Amino acid sequence: MTFILDCDGVVWLGETAIPGSPTAVSRLREAGHRVVFLTNNSFPRLAEHVAKFERLGIEVDPSDVLTSPMAAASLLAPGERVMVFGGPGIFEALEQRGVEALEPGAGMNGKSGAVDAVIVGFDRNFDFSRLATAATVVRQGARLVGTNDDATFPSSDGLLPGAGSLLAAVMTAGGKKAEVAGKPYDATRALITERVGHVDWVVGDRPSTDGALAQRLQTHFGLVLTGVTPPDHGPIDPAPDREAPDLAGLVKDLLA
């Protein structure tokens, strides 16, 4: 079987592995299952994701790590000029796609269409000036692309504002709806189909992304309670096929 695992809130929180998660990944592999990691976190480069797995005791092939910037890049055409509000992971994915990635404010010469698209991801430096720039470029006619629309981001310090919160501000100020690439949207589903093929389980901590992605892939959804979904949650839509306190518990249940 093939398992797609979310990262933040499932495998780790911040720079710390969630207890039992490295062992759980090893158990799945030892049982003959393929493990692919899929994250909506658009900030790190692929090599930084891989290095983090290794620091936390999880060996991973780079081809088994999929990110929302990869999906977002697929929505853009080689040669387009795109202003980026986000981290190096977006710049890397756009470069590999052959898209010209611009820093905020670059290319604003007053000509409509000078920038083909604005892409918004997780950006700790996002402020009023960046919001004003993004909204201006969008109103001038640029497409608006979001790496994901997660309102929050699970961390070791609790929930932080996610890329979706920043994207909502740009949509409001720019007066345009965004095309969203990450889980659970079509660009990510297409990326999985191309790179992974058939999937048996999607495991995550957020029903609105991980659960909805499982629905779109017509496969099983495993929910863990180490991220955004609290243990005392009420009714969940979509309902998980299996629920466990953490990844270790879920894997133990599934392999039993």
**Model pLDDT, residue 107:** 60
- Which residue is associated with the tokens 């839509």? 237
Question: What's the domain count of the chain?
Answer: 2
Per-residue pLDDT reduced to its tens digit, 30-72 = 999 999 999 999 999 999 999 999 999 999 999 999 999 999 9
Q: Is 106 in the same domain as 173?
A: yes
**Model pLDDT, residue 159:** 86
List the one residue out of 216, 229, 223 whose CA is nearest residue 242: 223
**Model pLDDT, residue 112:** 45
What is the SS3 assignment for 160? strand
Q: Is 151 in the same domain as 195?
A: no
Catalytic residue among 6, 123, 150, 210, which? 6
Per-residue pLDDT reduced to its tens digit, 182-226 = 999 999 999 999 999 999 999 999 999 999 999 999 999 999 999
Range of the domain at 145: 70-180
Per-residue pLDDT reduced to its tens digit, 156-167 = 788 889 999 999
Judge whether 6 counts as a catalytic residue.
yes
Q: Is 155 in the same domain as 193?
A: no
Judge whether 61 counts as a catalytic residue.
no
Last residue of a domain, one of 147, 180, 213: 180
